[in-house]
Amino acid sequence: MTEQKSSNEMWGGRFASGPDAIMEEINASIGFDRKLYAQDIRGSLAHAAMLAKTGIIAADDHDKIAGGLNTILSEIESGKFAFSRKLEDIHMNIEARLAELIGPAAGRLHTARSRNDQVAVDFRLWVKDELGRMASALKALIEAFLERAEEHAATVMPGFTHLQTAQPVTFGHHCMAYVEMFGRDLSRVRDAIERLDESPLGAAALAGTGFGIDRHMTAKALGFREPTRNSIDSVSDRDYALEFLSLAAISATHLSRLAEEIVIWSTPQFNFIRLSDAFSTGSSIMPQKKNPDAAELVRAKTGRITGSLVGLLTVMKGLPLAYSKDMQEDKEAVFDAVETLELALAAMTGMVRDLTVNTASMKKAAGSGYSTATDLADWLVRELGMPFREAHHVTGRAVALAEARKCDLGKLSLEELQSIHPGITEAVFGFLTVDKSVRSRQSYGGTAPQEVRRQIRFWKKRIAKA
């Protein structure tokens, strides 16, 4: 007869004590939600003050609660607080310690409040704080780009489409493209703060409370614009977390595109820029190598942030109203995305300030690939009154002739150009250099140095007010 294994052996390993150990492991969130300790104490202090002012608890109990909470804050910040997994989360850990410190008065703190609205206000406060830090990091990156753009407003480089040389632009203009991208990211951060700036505290479990609380008072005390207007939505909403991950994923994508360009531009084949040793590493076997590891890691970390967004969208997609325990899975994704994006922004800001621009290589490359072909077509339209489609065709024939001669467009003779179209005159050669090309692009938002400098002035004023 086969010996039947005990239930504990069947669970095995770290869960040898049976179902209780598994439940504790899956249920506990203190391992990560301890990050919310400051916000949890802020929320409790505001709630206790409101309960006292409305007469729901006695002033003496409020004084004890406030004193105990401030003691706990000091204990946590000094590393003396003992967190317990058996108490599940940050809320219960703080509540249990408060009871140890002040006795029965601690039990009055949870009047007219549930862990559902407690965690909602804690998490909103935390995300709001982090969005403020993200705004500062984006401003620093934009300012770094503005410095480089001003320095290189007239530095010629090739502009690309399909990673093929298209038209000459300036490096300053290219930098300003990223100013626009990260400026929109900053705008999304501001918008996100505006939308989440409502306090769910006082919604209780889901239906509100029968106590005569003052939700406007607690909202103001916590720095929110106003309280939320629906108690069910208040405890089941995680839009603010999803919106943070969405804007983080967009910003990380912008960082990744920039990182890709840094990787490409720092190759010997391009030789447009050089990163210092501060943002590069060597090879373990090839002594000549200088690898742009910081940029590559920024590019890779985008996947983590995008994955966090998809993960939380998947958690929330099938949840009925109001609160479900699934929502405990909202925090780790956001915590990780915040740390990842913060590091990526800091690294990229450092790289933008650090990189050395090889202006000679950029200018040489700017003239490759018949990059002034569009300038020839524009000249034919402007000077000869030719329809653009016909000018496009004539220019194509000129490019084909230059390819056959293995020379640039500007190196074709006047006779060769007139063999394609007799109306072409000597004046055309003044428009076939990369410098003339970029100076001619004076349309609003164009690459002409004077226009680049105008956009720099605009953004300097705008970022100073942000």
What the block records as the tokens of 150 is 């001003």
Residue in 379, 145, 116 with CA at minimum distance from that of residue 398: 379
CATH of the domain at 233: 1.20.200.10
Q: Classify 89 as helix, strand or coil.
A: coil
Is there a single domain that holds both residue 373 and residue 360?
no
User: Of all helices (H) and strands (E), which one includes residue 251?
Assistant: helix 239-265
Is there a single domain that holds both residue 89 and residue 189?
no
Domain span at residue 71 reads 21-108
Q: What is the DSSP letter of 427?
A: G
CA distance 48 to 421: 86
Is there a single domain that holds both residue 349 and residue 374?
no
Q: Is residue 32 part of a domain?
A: yes
pLDDT in tens, 306-330: 999 999 999 999 999 999 998 998 9
Per-residue pLDDT, averaged over 375-384, amounts to 85
Q: Is there a cis peptide before residue 322, judged by omega within 30 degrees of 0? A: yes
Name the domain boundary from 302, 329, 364. Answer: 364
- Give backbone dihedrals phi and psi of 168, rounded to 5 degrees, phi first: -65, 140
User: What's the pLDDT at 88?
Assistant: 87
Helix axes 37-53, 59-77, angle to 10 degrees: 170
94 neighbors 44 (Cβ within 8 angstroms): yes
Looking up tokens 């599940």 gives 88
pTM above 0.85, yes or no: yes
User: What's the pLDDT at 16?
Assistant: 56
Tell me how many domains the chain contains: 3
Q: What share of the chain has pLDDT > 90, as a percent?
A: 68
Is there a single domain that holds both residue 126 and residue 89?
no
Q: Is residue 358 part of a domain?
A: yes
User: What's the pLDDT at 2?
Assistant: 42
Helix axes 449-465, 171-196, angle to 10 degrees: 20
Is there a single domain that holds both residue 194 and residue 326?
yes
198 neighbors 240 (Cβ within 8 angstroms): no
- Tell me the β-bridge partners of 164: 161
pLDDT in tens, 28-37: 888 888 999 9
CA distance 146 to 453: 10
Q: Classify 356 as helix, strand or coil.
A: strand
Catalytic residues: 162, 283
Cα angle 293, 296, 300; round to 5: 135
User: What's the pLDDT at 288?
Assistant: 54
CATH of the domain at 69: 1.10.275.10
User: What's the pLDDT at 368?
Assistant: 80
pLDDT higher than threshold 90 for residue 434: no
